[in-house]
Amino acid sequence: MHLMPLAYGAGDAQDSETSFEMTEEFLTTRQVLDLIKVDKSTVYRMAEGGRIPAVKVGRQWRFPADQIQVWLDGNQSNQVPEQPVAKLVEDIPLGALHSLLQVFAELLGVMMVLTDMEGRPITPVANPCGLMTATGDDPEVLERCVQTWTADEGNDLSTHYVPTALGFECIHGYLRSGDRLLGMVLAGGVAAEPWPPPVADVVAGARLVGLDPTIVTSHIEEVYYLDRLGKQELKSALPRIANALSRVISDHTQSTDRLRAIASLAGVQ
């Protein structure tokens, strides 16, 4: 796939999926969506995580046209770092992170889960609500649910509440290493107002994530209820929780790297 310069006569039609002006310094998000055929939230996560050439202009992402061309031609190794999430899963004791999430979730009265940057859970759900307990035993169902929690985080990846397929609300924080994103901390199971949603909406949401609508409707009131102050406290706390977990991960990684270096010097395999 190539970004071709525009060279059309008066009667020619432009191929909007593959052709953009190379004279343009930057491509828009919409142009990139047309090129790589992913949803908007995925492009934003890729940009924020350094996995696609991008710069931020105010609150908007823009994509250098020449670098995108190289990236599309398969030379990503020089442009896009490897996903750090793989190292996160490999090196960090996820059981310890889950234990920390459990404490935070119980204190704030919500459920929490740690995911990679694509929304795939890498820890069990901490402090699950009754609705999640009744429906979340299947890992594939959990992943589909979490994907709906992360589908609309917004252009600037700010911390804000978003609705889910089952109607309750969730909010995101981000694990970082310097300016790179490592993963997400999701807090959810929070009842929207009013609650419960219309039965038709609940049934549609259940079918979307592959759940039995009868089970979902029978447990729909078993979520967490936060008043306005509680929701604001959660919104304020989540970035701090994410920062604390990021420091734990960073310290652990540095310690592991030092131990590996010592072992290498000592000739230990």
pLDDT digits (tens, 9 = 90+) for 55-98: 876 667 788 888 888 888 775 444 444 444 445 555 567 788 89
Q: How many CA atoms lie within 13 A of 47 on its CB side?
A: 27
Distance from C-alpha of 73 to C-alpha of 34, rounded to nearest angstrom:
16
pLDDT at residue 50, as a whole number: 76
Domain borders along the chain are: 1-81, 85-256
Which has the higher per-residue pLDDT, 156 or 174? 174
pLDDT for residue 164 is more than 70: yes
Determine what percent of the chain is predicted with pLDDT higher than 90. Answer: 30
Within 8 A by CB and 6+ apart from 73, the residues are 2
Element of type H or E holding 186: strand 180-190
Neighbours of 217 (CB within 10 A): 14
**Between the CA atoms of 112, 115, 119 and 124, what dihedral angle is there, to the nearest 10 degrees?**
-60
Hey, is 174 helix, strand or coil?
strand
Mean pLDDT across 153-164 = 68
Class of domain 85-256: alpha beta
State yes or no: pLDDT of 3 exceeds 60.
Answer: no
- Out of 19-28, 125-134, 193-202, least confident range: 19-28
CB-based contacts of 39, cutoff 8 Å, min separation 6: 33, 151
163: number of Cβ within 10 Å: 16
Residue 92 burial (CB < 10 Å; 0-12/13-18/19+)? buried
Of 37-41, 151-155, 191-195, 223-227, least confident by mean pLDDT is 151-155
Output 56 or 172, whichever has higher pLDDT: 172
pLDDT score of 112: 95
Give the SS3 label for residue 200.
helix
Considering the chain, what is the average pLDDT of its residues?
A: 77
Residue type at 233? E
Whether 164 and 188 have beta carbons less than 8 Å apart is answered as: yes
The confidence score (pLDDT) of residue 59 equals 63
pLDDT digits (tens, 9 = 90+) for 225-246: 999 999 999 999 999 999 999 8
**For residues 250 and 91, is the Cβ–Cβ distance under 8 A?**
no
CA–CA gap between residue 12 and residue 161 (Å, rounded) = 45
In tens, the pLDDT along 93-139 reads 778 889 999 999 999 999 999 988 777 788 889 999 999 999 866 67
Closest CA to 71 of 46, 48, 88: 46
Secondary structure letter of residue 154 according to DSSP: -
Tokens of 56: 């931020």
